[in-house]
Amino acid sequence: MNTRATAVCALAIFVLPGTVLAAGAFTKEFPIADCKFETNKFEREDANPYYILQPNRELQYNNFQCVSEGACDEVEELVVTILNKTRKFKLNIDGKMKTVTTRVLQEVETANGELVEISHNYYAQCDDNQDVYYFGEDVDIYEEGKIVAHDGAWLAGKNGAKPGLIFPGGAFLLGARYFQEVAPRVALDKAEHLAMGLTEETPAGRFDDCVFIQETTPLEPGNVSEKTYCPGTGLLFDNDLELTTIIEW
């Protein structure tokens, strides 16, 4: 477990354009009805700098450093690719049917060289304020090269699931708390902003103005995930995984 978090704010309520985030409580209701979702504009000035949904962008991660220090037992690798694919979701929002086109993000995870999981995640950015919403994921879990389960899969609009906020737009606000997934009994990840203004280094380079987020879920009490994001790059650290390579084509 890393110790990058260096600041925690006191209880307060923060207002972002279109989104209210409160310390002390995790926001679960979001103003999605007011959003004009956009998946076809990818200019960096229009994108959420911490969660870039630019197609044909690949980020590669591994925990080689953790293994070399003897703190990790197995080699883990993760490849995140923003695919040039979309998926439509038709949702009942505030009593009205709304169709949202989401961008597909693929994650491929391996452990000691063996395939563990492939997931396809669905995101869309609110064009008005750069809030990035999470609409669900399809999950394939592998053992010995065969799919054995789909644990954690959920889709907004099915079985009571609703979009969560994966990363707010506007200023990064310490103490902000919000649900990233709103799928009862299946996926209820929630995030808390703990630190900002960090400088970090990985094999991919040196990164400034990074932010630190802690994720928890009531479905797995005591399970804590720590993530660091950097503007213009996105996810830098995911627990012991660190960014090593960025490929854009």
CA distance 136 to 123: 8
Domain-embedded: residue 3: no
- The strand pairing partners of 238, in sequence order, are 227, 241
Domain-embedded: residue 8: no
* Number of structural domains found in the chain: 1
Domain-embedded: residue 91: yes
Domain-embedded: residue 112: yes
Domain-embedded: residue 170: yes
Domain-embedded: residue 133: yes
Cα–Cα separations (whole angstroms), residue 24 to 9, 11, 42, 114, 127: 10, 6, 34, 41, 28
Residue 118's domain spans which residues? 13-248
pLDDT tens series, the chain, 249 aa = 344 444 333 333 334 444 555 556 899 999 999 899 876 655 556 789 999 999 999 999 999 999 999 999 999 999 999 999 999 999 998 888 999 999 999 999 999 999 999 999 999 999 889 999 999 999 999 999 999 999 999 999 999 999 999 999 989 999 999 999 999 999 999 999 999 999 999 999 999 999 999 999 999 999 999 999 999 999 999 999 999 999 999
- The strand pairing partners of 123, in sequence order, are 103, 134
Domain-embedded: residue 231: yes
The closest alpha carbon to 165, from 54, 15, 20, 44, belongs to 20
Domain-embedded: residue 72: yes
The closest alpha carbon to 225, from 191, 179, 177, belongs to 191
